[in-house]
Structure 1
Amino acid sequence: MKGILVQKFGGTSLATAENRKAVIDKIINSINRGYKVVVVVSAMGREGAPYATDTLINLAQNSYEYINPRAKDLLMSCGEIIASVVVGQGLKERGHNYEALTGAQAGIITDDNYGNTRILEVNPQRILETLEANKVPVVTGFQGVSQEGEITTLGRGGSDTTATALGAALHAEMVEIYTDVEGVMTADPNLVPQARVLKHITYEEACELAYQGAKVIHPRAVEIARRERVPIMIRSTFTESPGTVIADTFSQEKQIDIKGDQAVTGVTSRSNVSLVEVKPRQPQKYATALGCFEVLAAANISVDFINVRPEMITFIVNRELAARTEELLAKTEYNYTVSNNLIKVSVVGAGMTGLPGVMAKMVKALKGSEVHIYQTTDSHTTISFLVKRDDEQDALQALHSQFNLAQ
């Protein structure tokens, strides 16, 4: 007897009647294979589609100067609710009873940080009762309820987080994330045509790829799955491609070590960043500039790629926060510059840990493609570079080729 399988379907998978038929086929096929299936849905379509989250946001923001965060979360939660009923009715027409459940009804309890809330706990009792009644729970992704009873949303990619949180709480055999690509790839195929689908990657590699710019799954979702040891499968809704397994080990007939012997798993980039340079008010007294981190932290602005030198402190922020960063630094009279002409390119791989010569190969590859490196940083699984925005594709292709990732 098979156990519980959580299947999450993204907005593009639900955008049209034809796409939704493919979704229903996937769900029923899993039921016929003996799984108890829990379905998680995103809002249908992308911006411009009538029930997409961005469409709902624009409806309010284009009409009113300000909408408070609580009301905005209420509005944003509507798209998934609509999708849960539409998908559920599709199952009903094919002979399978369902129960549409909001995040609150599914037992997802969060903090009260509207717009980017964190899950505090999951009480899956209602879902278990629904499964016991031989119904398919169709759960709204992206949302939960605060301890005070307020509707909250989990931020971009929140439906992935819903799926893995439910998978952990239900002790699911696997969480399947269905999307419009065939899995996690060695690079963005729009920038590196030779990119290929990875069969297996570790939780840590998936997290790093996501944090550094890959958009297939949200890093917070992977962190939950890693903590509770729930395997994730990234698959296409529209093909029978086997997809990518995210796990440190994956059990089929036996335990398979999936770390492999390749140093590098993939390359990715973040182009939505701004470089900030802060100079001390007095030469050689860089401690006077360190206070800028406290100023930004108080405004909930996260910084990355930090480099502290006597003559200057540099870091990057998300591009959408650049204007606010400038405003805060100007207000506190720091000597600073903000530029948007650099991007962050990262190389990720669990096999790099303790392996000599990896950085030398990267520098050689970038130099050979005439890509200038402005700054570097590294961890035990990731090495990142700041390069000119115009060099993004050349840098990714050079690094992808250097480590034979197309093979």
Structure 2
Amino acid sequence: MRIIVQKFGGTSVATPEGREAVVRRVRQALDDGYATVVVVSAMGRQGDPYATDTLIQLAQSAGPDLAPREMDLLLSCGEIISSVLMAATLTAAGIPAVALTGGQAGIQTDENYGNAQIVKVDPAPVLSRLREGLVVVVAGFQGVNAAGEVTTLGRGGSDTTAAALGGALRAEVVEIYTDVDGVKTADPRLVAEARTLSVTTYDEIAQMAHYGAKVVHPRAVEIAMQHRVPIRVRSTFSDNPGTLITYSAEAGVIWSEPFSDRVVTAVTHVVGLAQVVVKTGRDWATPRLFRRLANAGISVDLISVSMESSAFSIPESRAAQAEMILTELGLVDLQVRHGCAKVTVVGSGMRGRPGVMATVAEALYAAEVPIWQTADSHVTISCLIPAADVQRAVQALHDAFELGRI
């Protein structure tokens, strides 16, 4: 049995027109000979009646002390409503379908309400219904723990659901449908000539998601990579083939050719950051300050440590709390720079390739964008810059690496 998993986001299932587009996608998959599993998100976006953010606001209106168990039970309702409505729509269109909650679909999680990790997927409940000739519509973003209690998977949870089901069912591909036609070389709101990538790697897409691109959730990419399930990102409303996410050239797969000459694949950005520069000067100070920040749940990035000082970036919203923690440690010689952003070039082709940092620096210098701090990995180079210069910086880097020609 050839299996495909198709995940549809909130905008795809929120309107009759969107649901009709979903029906067309499902019908095409069936015509192509696939047994089809559909994963759905909650309908719409913030402000819409059944969107996750709306349900959160509803819970908060009842009081500040709603237990995590009850919160997850409420939040799971948005996807359940979508799954029932989508199954009914498919059936009415002549495609027999059944709706399942995450738990009914065999998704088992840990005990971490609100951000549960999937620990196991039992494929039997879904496989039995596929063998009956049904399309299985699964509520994304949720599962059940060992006690049978409903849990939710956190942001990007429906992507994670689709990838986990794809792995457990040994699907040929997981298709993630959104309101854009694939993964772009940059945010098209900042770069008009941003192109849709035809193919990219798991490694690149995970880095792009981590560094600000609104694509597939990193946890979903990790699961797909573990199970060697390709992901295709497409638009529900377009016939564009979208972006295929698969293994890199180093893995020796048939998709190696598109990567051979590509140094940089995309430019991403994150705003809402602050930079902290603190003079430590004492052996104990550096590990203690990072431990205290971690204990407070403050995420630290772009870390640079020397014998005398440390510099790093944090979310702007946590800057005042971080400054208070450092002061409590006696680290009063510090500077907090607000209004920062991070721009990142991502590409598997930069691994071991000299001159990439030079091109980044030259492009930003020519665009009169100051670089306050840098960091790199084997497939990324990031620069901390003024938030006011993000558009100019992303455009300059996109031009420098000729990403408009991909």
Identify whether the pair has TM-score above 0.5, normalized to the shorter chain: yes
In structure 2, give the amino acid aligned to 1:401: D
- 1:221 alignment partner in structure 2: 220
Helix, strand or coil for the counterpart of 1:178? strand
Distance 1:326 1:159, change over 3 A: farther
Say yes or no: does 1:279 pair with 2:279: yes
Distance in 2 (alpha carbons) for counterparts of 1:146 and 1:324: 34
Helix, strand or coil for the counterpart of 1:271? strand
- 1:142 alignment partner in structure 2: 141
RMSD: 1.8
Residues 202 and 248 of structure 2 are in contact (CA less than 8 Å); yes or no, is this contact kept in structure 1?
A: no
Helix, strand or coil for the counterpart of 2:310? strand
In structure 2, give the amino acid aligned to 1:139: V
- 1:163 alignment partner in structure 2: 162
Distance 1:109 1:32, change over 3 A: same
Residues 351 and 378 of structure 2 are in contact (CA less than 8 Å); yes or no, is this contact kept in structure 1?
A: yes
- 1:186 alignment partner in structure 2: 185
1:249 CA drift (Å): 6.3
In structure 2, give the amino acid aligned to 1:33: D
1:169 CA drift (Å): 0.5
In structure 2, give the amino acid aligned to 1:377: A
In structure 2, give the amino acid aligned to 1:366: L
Distance in 2 (alpha carbons) for counterparts of 1:240 and 1:351: 29
Superposed CA deviations along residues 189-232 of structure 1, whole A, max 9, x for unmatched, are 00111101000001100001000000121111111111111000
Distance in 2 (alpha carbons) for counterparts of 1:361 and 1:384: 13
- 2:270 alignment partner in structure 1: 270
Distance in 1 (alpha carbons) for counterparts of 2:145 and 2:319: 30
1:278 CA drift (Å): 3.3
How many residues are aligned here?
400
- 2:233 alignment partner in structure 1: 234
Distance 1:328 1:116, change over 3 A: farther
Superposed CA deviations along residues 351-402 of structure 1, whole A, max 9, x for unmatched, are 0011111111111100000011001000110000000001101110000000
In structure 1, give the amino acid aligned to 2:101: T
Residues 176 and 233 of structure 1 are in contact (CA less than 8 Å); yes or no, is this contact kept in structure 2?
A: yes
In structure 1, give the amino acid aligned to 2:375: T
- 2:152 alignment partner in structure 1: 153
Aligned 1:261-340 pairs, distance under 5 A = 261-280=261-280, 284-285=281-282, 287-326=284-323, 328-335=325-332, 336-340=334-338
Distance 1:163 1:394, change over 3 A: same
Distance 1:289 1:114, change over 3 A: same
In structure 1, give the amino acid aligned to 2:384: L
Distance in 1 (alpha carbons) for counterparts of 2:101 and 2:401: 45
Aligned 1:54-69 pairs, distance under 5 A = 54-69=53-68
1:116 CA drift (Å): 1.3
2:345 corresponds, among 337, 344, 347, to 347
Helix, strand or coil for the counterpart of 1:377? strand
- 2:209 alignment partner in structure 1: 210
Distance 1:322 1:112, change over 3 A: farther
In structure 2, give the amino acid aligned to 1:276: V
- The answer to which of 286-295 and 319-328 deviates more is 319-328
1:333 CA drift (Å): 4.8
Give unmatched runs, 5+ long, in structure 2.
Answer: none
2:395 corresponds, among 388, 394, 397, to 397
Residues 12 and 179 of structure 2 are in contact (CA less than 8 Å); yes or no, is this contact kept in structure 1?
A: yes
Distance in 2 (alpha carbons) for counterparts of 1:387 and 1:274: 10
Distance 1:319 1:131, change over 3 A: farther
- 1:75 alignment partner in structure 2: 74
1:20 CA drift (Å): 1.0
Distance in 1 (alpha carbons) for counterparts of 2:323 and 2:85: 45
1:329 CA drift (Å): 4.0
1:130 CA drift (Å): 0.8
- 2:362 alignment partner in structure 1: 364
Distance in 1 (alpha carbons) for counterparts of 2:148 and 2:295: 27
Distance in 2 (alpha carbons) for counterparts of 1:51 and 1:260: 45
Give unmatched runs, 5+ long, in structure 1.
Answer: none
Distance in 2 (alpha carbons) for counterparts of 1:23 and 1:259: 32
Helix, strand or coil for the counterpart of 2:403? coil
Q: Give the TM-score normalised by the residue count of structure 1.
A: 0.94
Distance 1:323 1:87, change over 3 A: farther
Distance in 1 (alpha carbons) for counterparts of 2:320 and 2:105: 39
Residues 167 and 227 of structure 2 are in contact (CA less than 8 Å); yes or no, is this contact kept in structure 1?
A: yes
Percent of matched pairs sharing the same residue? 52
Distance 1:68 1:317, change over 3 A: farther
Distance 1:100 1:321, change over 3 A: farther
Helix, strand or coil for the counterpart of 1:274? strand
1:298 CA drift (Å): 2.5
Distance in 2 (alpha carbons) for counterparts of 1:286 and 1:125: 56
- The answer to which of 171-180 and 302-311 deviates more is 302-311
Residues 361 and 402 of structure 1 are in contact (CA less than 8 Å); yes or no, is this contact kept in structure 2?
A: yes
1:322 CA drift (Å): 4.0
1:255 CA drift (Å): 2.4
Runs of 4+ in 1 over 6 A off after TM superposition: none
1:320 CA drift (Å): 4.5
- The answer to which of 208-217 and 62-71 deviates more is 62-71
Helix, strand or coil for the counterpart of 1:112? coil
1:146 CA drift (Å): 1.2
In structure 1, give the amino acid aligned to 2:284: A
Superposed CA deviations along residues 47-93 of structure 1, whole A, max 9, x for unmatched, are 11111100111112134233222221111111000000000000110
- 1:374 alignment partner in structure 2: 372
